[in-house]
């Protein structure tokens, strides 16, 4: 029965995590925001994190400071690995703490670690004992088993649908991006050819005045020396003018 109870705790804490995240973001955005990765109201990273704290750190619960620090580090590692894994799998960054003062590659941050450390202390000292008492008091062995089985089937179905959709989305975006890249490449090539054609016609335009011709031909020795010394020099705001001047020098 321990396996059924462990899975039920996973579902409960995944739901609590979803409630916390959705409420927090909704308050910031001033509108309801569903922060669920899945279709259902679950955030599995909270469920996994809670189980890790319960299974690995409950023995250190007598020392609050040790529990707090160990939990903060453990959950930060979990969050970092989850962020990295989801980015590799779906080619997307799902959260980013780069704007926070203390962070590691935008995947985890100090204030998040502090919050999860506090949550973990609350989990071990208050929440988990209370939930355990409710399970033992109100759930028979049969009810625990069948509710866990039903929830597992629903969770697995939700997870499969979510992953299938995200992988399909990644494929669609890849095809769209490839088409867009080809379009921009073609546009860039067309723009380059057009710019060259326009440049070639500059001398035949009314803007190629005597004054401009004199400016192109003056100080040729010093311009040539500068060009030989710095052949890759670029004038950022006068790119076309500099190209015409170099062309005139080479002639």
Position 42 pLDDT exceeds 80: yes
Q: For the CA atoms of the chain, what is the radius of gyration?
A: 32
- Give the per-residue pLDDT at 151: 96
In the three-class reduction of DSSP (H, G, I as helix; E, B as strand; rest coil), residue 145 is classed as helix
Nearest to 3 by CA among 137, 149, 133: 149
How far apart (Å, rounded) are the C-alpha atoms in residues 240 and 201?
13
Cβ count near 115 (within 10 Å): 15
Do residues 201 and 230 lie in contact, with contact meaning Cβ atoms separated by under 8 Å?
A: no
- Give the per-residue pLDDT at 74: 95
- Give the per-residue pLDDT at 240: 80
Do residues 50 and 57 lie in contact, with contact meaning Cβ atoms separated by under 8 Å?
A: no
Confidence band (pLDDT; 50, 70, 90) for 91? confident
Position 112 pLDDT exceeds 80: yes
246 CA to centre of own chain: 46
More confident residue, 193 or 40: 40
Mean pLDDT for the stretch of residues 128-144: 93
How far apart (Å, rounded) are the C-alpha atoms in residues 42 and 7?
13
**And the tokens for 6?**
């462990």
pLDDT mean across residues, the chain? 88
Confidence band (pLDDT; 50, 70, 90) for 133? very high
Do residues 107 and 84 lie in contact, with contact meaning Cβ atoms separated by under 8 Å?
A: yes
Cβ count near 109 (within 10 Å): 21
Position 249 pLDDT exceeds 90: no
* pTM of the complete model: 0.75
What's the 3-state SS for 6-20? HHHHHHHHHHHHHHH
User: Strand locations in 34-179, DSSP E?
Assistant: 103-104, 108-109
């Amino acid at each position: 029965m321990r396996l059924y109870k462990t899975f039920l705790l996973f579902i409960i804490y995944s739901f609590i995590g979803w409630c916390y995240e959705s409420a927090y973001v909704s308050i910031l955005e001033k509108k309801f925001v569903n922060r669920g990765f899945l279709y259902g109201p679950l955030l599995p990273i909270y469920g996994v994190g809670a189980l890790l704290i319960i299974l690995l750190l409950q023995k250190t619960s007598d020392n609050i400071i040790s529990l707090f620090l160990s939990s903060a580090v453990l959950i930060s590692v979990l969050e970092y690995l989850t962020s990295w894994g989801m980015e590799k799998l779906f080619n997307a960054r799902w959260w980013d703490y780069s704007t926070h003062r203390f962070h590691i590659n935008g995947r985890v941050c100090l204030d998040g670690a502090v919050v999860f450390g506090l949550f973990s202390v609350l989990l071990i000292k208050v929440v988990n004992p209370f939930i355990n008492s409710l399970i033992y008091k109100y759930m028979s062995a049969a009810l625990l088993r069948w509710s866990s089985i039903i929830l597992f089937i629903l969770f697995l179905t939700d997870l499969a649908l979510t992953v299938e959709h995200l992988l399909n989305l990644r494929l669609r975006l890849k095809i769209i991006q490839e088409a867009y890249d080809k379009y921009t490449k073609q546009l860039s090539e067309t723009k380059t050819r057009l710019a060259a054609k326009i440049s070639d016609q500059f001398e035949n335009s009314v803007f190629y005045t005597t004054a401009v011709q004199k400016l192109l031909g003056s100080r040729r020795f010093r311009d040539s020396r500068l060009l030989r010394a710095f052949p890759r020099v670029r004038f950022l705001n006068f790119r076309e003018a500099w190209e015409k001047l170099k062309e005139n020098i080479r002639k």
